[in-house]
Amino acid sequence: MGSYLGIPEDISGSKCKLFAFLKEKLLHRVNGWTGRWLSKGGKEVLIKSILLALPTYVMSSFLLSLEICESLASAIAKFWWSSNPPKRGIHWTTWDKMCKPREEGGIGFRMIHEFNLALLAKQLWRLAQFQDSLVARVLGPNMAR
């Protein structure tokens, strides 16, 4: 199966199997950092700048299932809490609490599913605002409203 801009060309069948490549990419990145004793600050920077940014392009085009979003969040949480990435550490707090802003006692990580919905809402807003765009004309007047 081929891909275009990192997204598989054939978008039929199980969405979990289709978007499994996102978790594979994420785990590949994490495995590349194995053996490096990173501080919590270093892990935070890597998570925010790389791991949470990996699925952004796909999420701006497709609605990922909750199962996929939870598996990505789980892989990121395992990386955060482990002292050495392949090993699992003790999770001292929930992912939801880690996603709260610093002012509220969190770390400021993104909730993956909510971010996915926000990116898709942004695309809908663009369709509504720019009804003369090629995409709006191709999708038709009913989609743009």
Residues 76-114: tens digit of each pLDDT:
999 998 876 556 678 888 999 999 999 999 999 999 999
- Output the CA torsion sign for 16, 19, 22, 27: positive
| In contact, 74 and 51? CB cutoff 8 Å | no
For the record, the structure tokens of 91 come out as 């999770």
State which residues of the chain have pLDDT below 50: 144
| In contact, 84 and 133? CB cutoff 8 Å | no
CA 67 to chain centre: 12
Q: What is the pLDDT of residue 127?
A: 86
Closest CA to 40 of 98, 94, 97: 98
Q: What is the pLDDT of residue 26?
A: 92
